[in-house]
Amino acid sequence: MITKLLALSLILLLPYSCHAGVVPSPYPADIIVLPNDGQKPILELIRNATESVWMCSYKLSDKKIISSLCIAKQCGVDVRVMLEGKPYGSSTVNTEAANKLVGAGITFSWSNPQFTITNANYIIIDHRKIVLLTLDLTEESLAQYRGYGVFIGDPKVVREAEAVFIADWQKHEKKEYASACPCMLISPDNSRQRLLEIISNSKKKIWIQAYLLQDEEIIGCLIEAKRRRVNIKIILAEAAPLVNDINLKTKKYLSNQGISVKLQRTPCPQGIMMLIDEKIAFVGSQGLDTQSLNDYREMGVVITHSQVIKRLKWMFSHD
């Protein structure tokens, strides 16, 4: 009898369980949609910090964010920033940001060279709250691209993000970091496995908005879901010529399998947003391509908060 009651309690506490390996965070979360909401919520998060601001981003150039970091440092907050050392197509943007930050006394580091690139974008505040972003912190990205940011205070999520930050800050080998939080998807550690689990466990709907879809294993899993009569809708970026070529080929291939795919130019999607059965959401910096899943440092989170799901559903339908 006790065993049955415990089992029932777990079902009630977890409104949706993807798989034994993927348990969405039960904590309340807030979502921002970019470019609609702008950088104001991010600025407020930094300005309200009293102990620490730890930031990791692929690119950083937004003047207001840089200024907020410098002000936080002046107020005695432990500010640490880690940026990708060799961002594609822009060799000086992060160097310029680094010079400004170091000049303000902020502790700075280039990202872990063990990864092809670090595309994870997140800010940890006071060891108690985090915002995970699907795009970087440049003025162009925040003002022009379709992106999402999840604000969450789940202690497990915060601890996981801090463990990743510390491992990458100290330039640990890839194998020296092991994922511990089941709602966090970290590339290259577990993103592939857990995304496949999420898709495989879908029952009715899969809605995906992503920058790139190329990985054969993910595509095969989506086709298998379609065969189970799951309703699948996908929005992909219409961006640079190479991305267009890849996404056009993917669109043609999946369309032949009965899967609806749309290319979106404005605002161009960055990272990934995924809705499963209108019950869970995944938001992360990952692309659905092999390099992003296997070689890049990426970060995202699986959540079930109803208000987040509601807004993401509306935004996807709008796009």
pLDDT tens for 93-136 read 999 999 999 999 999 999 999 999 999 999 999 999 999 999 99
Instruction: Please tell me whether residues 83 and 174 are part of one structural domain.
Output: yes
Predicted confidence at residue 179, as pLDDT, reads 74
Q: Say if 13 falls within a structural domain.
A: no
12 within some domain: no
pLDDT digits (tens, 9 = 90+) for 40-81: 999 999 999 999 999 999 999 999 999 999 999 999 999 999
pLDDT for the residue numbered 20: 47
Q: How confident is the model at residue 247 (pLDDT cuts 50, 70, 90)?
A: very high
Mean pLDDT of the chain: 91
Asked whether residue 32 falls in the same domain as residue 178, the answer is yes
Q: pLDDT tens digits for 147-206? A: 999 999 999 999 999 999 999 999 876 655 667 788 999 999 999 999 999 999 999 999
283: CATH? 3.30.870.10
The domain total for the chain is: 2
Domain with 209, as residue range(s), is 186-318
Q: Do residues 163 and 230 share a domain?
A: no
pLDDT above 60: residue 146: yes
Nearest of 264, 259, 217 to residue 236 by alpha carbon: 264
Q: Which residues, 6+ apart, have CB-to-CB distance to 10 below 8 Å?
A: none
Q: State the burial class of residue 12 (Cβ atoms within 10 Å of its Cβ: 0-12, 13-18, 19+).
A: exposed
Q: Given this model, what pLDDT does residue 151 score?
A: 97
Using pLDDT thresholds of 50, 70 and 90, give the confidence band for residue 23. confident
Helix 216-227 / helix 191-200 crossing angle, nearest 10 deg: 10
Categorize the per-residue pLDDT at 13 as very low, low, confident or very high, splitting at 50, 70 and 90. Answer: very low
Beta bridge partners of 29: 152
Is residue 306 over pLDDT 90? yes
Residue 90 has pLDDT above 90, yes or no: no
As a whole number, mean pLDDT of residues 9-22 equals 44
Rounded to whole angstroms, the Cα distance separating 199 from 212 reads 17
Q: What is the pLDDT of residue 104?
A: 98
On the question of pLDDT at 7 being above 70, the answer is: no
141 plus 193 within the same structural domain: no
- Of 182, 208, 241, the position where a domain reaches its end is 182
Q: Does residue 36 lie within any of the structural domains?
A: yes
Among 182, 206, 228, residue at a domain's last position: 182
Tell me which of 121, 155, 182 is where a domain ends: 182
Q: Which residue has the higher pLDDT, 22 or 162?
A: 162
Residues in the chain: 319
In this predicted model, what pLDDT tens digit does every residue of 265-288 receive, in sequence order? 999 999 999 999 999 999 999 999
Residue 263 tokens read as: 């290319």
* Residue 86: partners with Cβ closer than 8 Å, 6 or more residues away: 117
Inside any domain, residue 74 = yes
CB 131 within 8 A of CB 122: yes
What is the reported pLDDT for 89? 74
Token pair, residue 24, equals 């969405």
Residues 201 and 100 in one domain: no
Evaluate if residue 12 carries a pLDDT over 70.
no
> Residues 302, 211: one domain?
yes
Residues 116, 245, single domain; the answer is no
Residue 1 banded pLDDT, cuts 50, 70, 90 = very low
> Residue 240 — pLDDT band, cuts 50, 70, 90?
confident
Statement to judge: residues 155 and 256 lie in one domain: no
pLDDT for 177? 63
Supply the pLDDT for residue 9.
Answer: 36
Same domain? 23 vs 144: yes
